């Protein structure tokens, strides 16, 4: 039996391992945490509705923070970059975010073409958007944290190449 067959149906494919590593690095070094009071204020500003489609929060439909600039592009979990989103919109947008040239405004235009500009304007007004800019890791970390993050990433790259080699053999 090939090594690849051993991986089929498991959670340990190279791409999943890489995804887990990148998320861990973001969580550990790059992502700030939003106080619950701030999240409650954001929910109230949006009337406890999804910022994109307007679905009201209920027991069956919880709203979650959605990053306008995604974490994968160094977006922080802060007001000005987070809006409430239903699971359906959050999932749709996360697939849309995989394209680095697309923005949250592009997502709204794609999903709600008939009134996209109105929705975009409403979101910007509710978050008081003054052009949020994501900071690169170098601007957020101490020199020591940055050195550790770089070292971990280099070590991971070596291990990832070995995992891919093993997986493809």
159 vs 109 pLDDT, higher one: 109
Q: Give per-residue burial for 22-47: e unless 16+ CB within 10 Å, then b.
A: eeebbeeebbeebeeeebeebbebbe
Bridge-partner residues for 85, per DSSP?
64
Check pLDDT > 90 for residue 56: yes
Write down the pTM of the prediction. Answer: 0.62
Would you place residue 47 in the very low, low, confident or very high pLDDT band (cuts 50, 70, 90)? very high
Q: What is the pLDDT confidence band of residue 137, given thresholds at 50, 70 and 90?
A: low
C-alpha 81/C-alpha 75 separation (Å) is 7
Percent of the chain predicted with pLDDT > 70: 79
What confidence score (pLDDT) does residue 97 get? Answer: 77
pLDDT of 2 over the 60 cut: no
Mean pLDDT, residues 75-104: 85
Question: The tokens 């406890």 sit on which residue?
Answer: 48
Dihedral over alpha carbons 152, 156, 103, 98 (to 10 degrees): -160
Q: How deeply is 73 buried, as exposed, middle or buried, from its count of CB atoms within 10 A (0-12, 13-18, 19+)? A: exposed
E strands, the chain, are 64-67, 82-85
pLDDT score of 1 = 45
Look at residue 138 in the predicted model and tell me its pLDDT: 64
d(CA 84, CA 106): 17
Average pLDDT over residues 4-10: 53
- In this predicted model, what pLDDT tens digit does every residue of 99-114 receive, in sequence order? 888 889 999 999 999 9
pLDDT mean over 18-28: 69
């Amino acid at each position: 039996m090939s090594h690849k067959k051993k991986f089929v149906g498991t959670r340990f494919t190279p791409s999943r391992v890489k995804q887990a590593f990148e998320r861990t690095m973001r969580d550990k070094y790059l992502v700030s945490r939003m106080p619950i009071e701030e999240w409650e204020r954001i929910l109230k500003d949006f009337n406890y509705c999804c910022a994109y489609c307007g679905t009201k929060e209920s027991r069956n439909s919880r709203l979650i923070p959605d990053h306008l600039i995604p974490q994968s592009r160094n977006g922080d979990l802060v007001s000005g970059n987070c809006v409430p989103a239903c699971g359906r919109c959050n999932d749709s947008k996360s697939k849309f975010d995989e394209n680095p040239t697309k923005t949250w405004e592009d997502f709204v235009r794609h999903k709600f073409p008939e009134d996209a500009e109105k929705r975009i304007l409403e979101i910007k007004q509710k978050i008081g958007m003054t052009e949020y800019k994501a900071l690169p890791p170098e601007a957020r970390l101490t020199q020591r944290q940055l050195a550790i993050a770089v070292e971990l990433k280099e070590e991971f790259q070596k291990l990832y190449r070995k995992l891919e080699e093993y997986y493809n053999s």
